[in-house]
Amino acid sequence: MNESYNTIKVTREDGFATVMLNRPKEMNAISREMQLELIDCFNRMEDDNGVRAVIITGGDYIFSAGMDLKELNTLTRKDDDGRYITSMIKYLQQIYTFKRPVIAAVSGIALGGGFNLVTVCDLIIASETAIFGHPELKFGLNPLFDPLSRFVGTAKAKEITMLGEPIGAREALRIGLVNKVLPPERFMEEAKTMAGELANRPTRAIEAVKKLSDIVHRLDKKTALEHEFEITALLFTLKESKEHMRKFIDDLKERKKNSLPYSS
């Protein structure tokens, strides 16, 4: 993986990678260059078996103020607009459809395009300083609706996108937008702990859960259950699953012998 980028920083730990937005002077505004670098980065990680989970963050103080409006204002020709929109779609799709878990670790503001980036992730860890918002409608643009509605439901997503009011971390937790809220000094630690745990889970099973979460809600109940158990039957046959089951049983026996409580 090319880890020498201009607008993002990529670091590797055991089993997972952290991608940090790195335009601090521009409040991590998402430029075309950043979009292209995120596309390249996630494309490379897709084929890297050493990366079994990913964290996206903006660092301790700000996630992202949104799209780079200065750059947007320079687009005057239709072909420029078309290429820009295409890159916006592609970079979000690259993350939204990434086959392994993606965690957004958010501190400070995540507005507009920055909020879009958060909602294409699978899990969201927020600092107590986090503020989410979609102000786009106020100046004539539409925010992404589908990713947001999968977290908070249709009615709440309409409220958030149409009114554009900011949402603090505690309110975000209450409405189901984020998974956990931590003090500023602990939110990245929690994100890394979660990424490490996911990296140690059976890879194919995690990928299956991601796929099922996209599919089953569109099916009727009978078909949904059938589809889920088809995946279960397939996973039962995999060497990886058998090894994890064997390890689970051995660990359970060892803990029982030593009278220790079991912890996964």
Q: Show which residues are catalytic.
A: 136
What is the residue whose two structure tokens read 């920083």?
Answer: 9
The span from the CA of 16 to the CA of 195, in Å, is 6
* DSSP per-residue string spanning 15-40: TEEEEEE--GGGTT-B-HHHHHHHHH
Count of other CB atoms within 10 angstroms of residue 235: 16
CB 113 within 8 A of CB 63: no
SS3 122: coil
The set of residues, in sequence order, having a beta carbon less than 8 Å from that of 3 and lying 6+ positions away, is: 9, 10, 11, 12
Q: How far is Cα 170 from Cα 167, in angstroms, rounded to an integer?
A: 8
